Amino acid sequence: MISLAERVKVVADSITLAVSAKANAMKKAGIDVVGFGAGEPDFDTPAFIKDAAKAALDKGQTKYTPTPCFPELKVAIAEKFNRENGLPYRPDQITTGTGGKHCLYMAFMALLNPGDEVIIPSPYWVSYPEQVKLAGGVNKIVRGEESNGFKITPDQLATAITPKTKVVVLNSPGNPAGHAYTPAELKALADVVVKHPSIVVFSDEIYEKLVYDGLQFVSFATLHPQLPEQTLTFNCHSKSFAMTGWRVGYVGGPKAIIDAINKLQSQMTSHITSFVQMPAAIALTDPRGAQSIESMRVEFEKRGRHMWERLSALPNVYCVRPQGAFYCFPNVSAYFGKSAEGIKITDAVSFAATLLEQSHVAVVPGNDSGFETHVRLSFATGMGQIDKGLDRIEGFLKKLG
């Protein structure tokens, strides 16, 4: 009898990936599913980036590269951080990884000792607490109240900090609620953090470009002169450049932590795929990169507004207006205790499962994000799909009465 490692038992499967896989399997079986599950742009990767990958292959960039990547990519990332974010990172303060997810995982592995506490505001992206568990850390969830737009307050943060706190995770604009802190709100959190110089902030800024209603994005580490030494800034190509499958993520931060991540990476994956490295650099430096991001952002903003308006018009559904990323996170708890075709809805999991089963709309239950009362809908899909899916949800809610 084979016995698996204990760590596998304490970790959950990724619900976001599971919902997408189920919806795709249903589609393959010929069912007309509307997929609001995947947090993945429906746009194609811009052509100039694909061309750069073809050129990299033709040039023979198919061999091992240095860990974690060619120097040119580190330079392009450092320059991007300097130019766009006002972050003074040098190339030796940059590392790359196999997507933003892998960067976060390596960073937790590089910093956490058993028992170290990690403060995670909820609702949170599903992978943070699981990665913390894998790295031996202890999750301290701090609830961002719906009434406060899902954002935590400086007082909540200060109260949650203990002598064991090692890391604070911040994700603005955020997954799963599309919530975003204003610069002033972030500064107030920064003022708490700088009183504790041994804490490292993981600022997950992968949705930085996707902000709406004129909201100003600011990088956390710019908010106090001490913060570049206390912050790891995470980003990736997945969302901004519609490059989810390419698996390119990157981190800037204190050299000692970056070196530690590289040491781990040299024994894990060596480096990111060779022929995606130069295209990843070109995406950041070619002006067409910024243009394609902006045209996607404009489209996402339209779709997000429309989805939010339609959700808000549904009876007994409340949805905070998303200000970033591409998610709406409505509260559907008014329907708990009701039944559709004999199936009783008890929480967001049974709501999402029954909606998929009976009305063929895929949404992600909020349970694994710390909110059993909410479901996540991605608006990274076309307007036609949004209307079709919302019509079906409307019909489903009528059945529940």
Residues that bind ligand PMP (CB under 6 A): 39, 99-101, 125, 171, 175, 204, 206, 236, 238, 244, 249
Shortest distance (Å) from residue 163 CB to ligand GLU: 32
Q: How far is CA 144 from CA 170, 383, 387, in A?
A: 12, 30, 29
- The option from ligand GLU, ligand PMP, none interacting with 206 (CB < 5 to 8 A, set by class) reads ligand PMP
Shortest distance (Å) from residue 101 CB to ligand PMP: 3
Q: Which is nearer to ligand PMP, 41 or 228 (CB)?
A: 41
> Nearest-CA neighbor of 35 among 320, 388, 351, 369?
388
Binding mask of the shown chain, residues 211 to 250, with x at each position contacting ligand GLU by CB under 6 A: ----------------------------------------
Shortest distance (Å) from residue 10 CB to ligand PMP: 21
CB 232 within 8 A of CB 107: yes
Shortest distance (Å) from residue 103 CB to ligand GLU: 12
Cα 221 to the chain's mean position, in Å?
Answer: 18
One residue of 38, 76, 142, 248 binding ligand GLU per CB under 6 A = 38
Q: Nearest residue to ligand PMP, using CB?
A: 99
Phi, psi torsion values for 199, nearest 5 degrees: -85, 140
Q: CB within 8 A of 181, min separation 6: which ones?
A: 151, 170, 172, 189
- The option from ligand PMP, ligand GLU, none interacting with 171 (CB < 5 to 8 A, set by class) reads ligand PMP
What is the arrangement of strands in the sheet containing 138-143, beginning at the earlier edge strand? 94-97, 249-252, 231-236, 200-204, 165-171, 117-122, 138-143
Q: Which is nearer to ligand PMP, 168 or 340 (CB)?
A: 168
Which letter, b or e, does each residue of 360-374 get, where b requires 16 or more Cβ atoms within 10 Å of its Cβ?
bbbbbbbbbbbbbbb
CA distance 3 to 191: 47
Secondary structure (DSSP) of 320-364: PPP-BTTEE--B-GGGTT-EETTEEP-SHHHHHHHIIIII-EE-E
Is 175 an interacting residue with respect to ligand GLU (CB under 6 A)? yes
Q: Which is nearer to ligand GLU, 175 or 233 (CB)?
A: 175
Q: Which is nearer to ligand GLU, 13 or 145 (CB)?
A: 13
Q: How far is CA 96 from CA 115, 208, 288, in A?
A: 27, 18, 22
CA distance 347 to 335: 9
Is 17 an interacting residue with respect to ligand GLU (CB under 6 A)? yes
Stretch that binds ligand GLU, among 10-18, 23-31, 188-196, 257-265 (CB under 6 A): 10-18
- The option from ligand PMP, ligand GLU, none interacting with 222 (CB < 5 to 8 A, set by class) reads none
CA distance 347 to 371: 10
Stretch that binds ligand GLU, among 21-29, 38-46, 295-303, 384-392 (CB under 6 A): 38-46
Q: Is 97 strand, coil or helix?
A: strand
- The option from ligand GLU, ligand PMP, none interacting with 38 (CB < 5 to 8 A, set by class) reads ligand GLU
Q: Which residues pair with 208 in a beta bridge?
A: none
- The option from ligand PMP, ligand GLU, none interacting with 68 (CB < 5 to 8 A, set by class) reads none
Stretch that binds ligand GLU, among 24-32, 122-130, 132-140, 286-294 (CB under 6 A): 122-130
Shortest distance (Å) from residue 226 CB to ligand PMP: 25
On the question of a cis peptide bond just before residue 41, with omega within 30 degrees of 0, the verdict is no
Is 303 an interacting residue with respect to ligand GLU (CB under 6 A)? no
Q: How far is CA 230 from CA 81, 113, 226, in A?
A: 16, 18, 7
Tokens matching residue 134:
């894998």
Q: How many CB atoms lie within 10 A of CB 143?
A: 14
Q: Which is nearer to ligand PMP, 39 or 137 (CB)?
A: 39
Shortest distance (Å) from residue 334 CB to ligand GLU: 25
Is 39 an interacting residue with respect to ligand GLU (CB under 6 A)? yes
Shortest distance (Å) from residue 373 CB to ligand PMP: 20
Q: Contact positions toward ligand GLU, by CB under 6 A?
A: 14, 16-17, 38-40, 101, 125-127, 175
